[in-house]
Chains A and B, each alone.
Chain A
């Protein structure tokens, strides 16, 4: 179970999440997104970058409510909404966006 990138193999778990988070880079994110049938655009990157920064600081992905609030500030009310997040990441922002951002899958009763 691994992704191929420039001849290197990058391990992932049963569900496609990276086993070693430090191996993430932007090129890999594009590949991860393709697996999810997502073509990365600026808004996708905005979300992914927010998630990565948040994770750097807190060692966990943010609650979606926190993410939406942050996006409202940067992208405006129109795009900073849950609904819009779903158009960006149809299978659910946390799950898909975390995977593309190279973060571990959130666990628990969620």
Chain B
């Protein structure tokens, strides 16, 4: 029963996540940007834009200019999350890829980094009056969701270990529609439920900042309006 529930849950979550995100990306990609609005000074070539975007995505360049505290906490969180997610690839690969094997030990520290970052961001949201003013319930809940995902995950590692081999069997099975029993440890069920929830709300929430950044005209556009005429279809229609 439990296994069926979680199996269905993860199918639904994955479909929503992938489908929803694909739809958003399609929407972002196909919505025209009629005017050149890169924030200047900006790159004057495509290659330059690739570098700008890389610095933005990898190092949070703009955020670094803005506020060192937010930068530290979100860098900890995002870098931590990235490593943790990569570490979790071992649940979906057999044999486990070499480099995934390699980062296993780092992944544990990354989990803590992620939690520290999240808790820092949460405290900031409460303590800093300006940020408190702009926060909706969903902004707190989103952080709490991630925090509880982290805590439930850490509990399985340090407090009450679960049968990770069985968990892996479950996920490997899911991928080939061959359902294997899922252990019923409480932290595991909490962890998996919250992750599924996160996947489901991803395409409907501010988590869209992840694909969004790549479609942000102030960052992806090349600063060359004088050299190359930029015109989109609906604007060209006005000229007829």
Q: Indicate yes or no for A touching B, C-beta below 8 A.
A: no
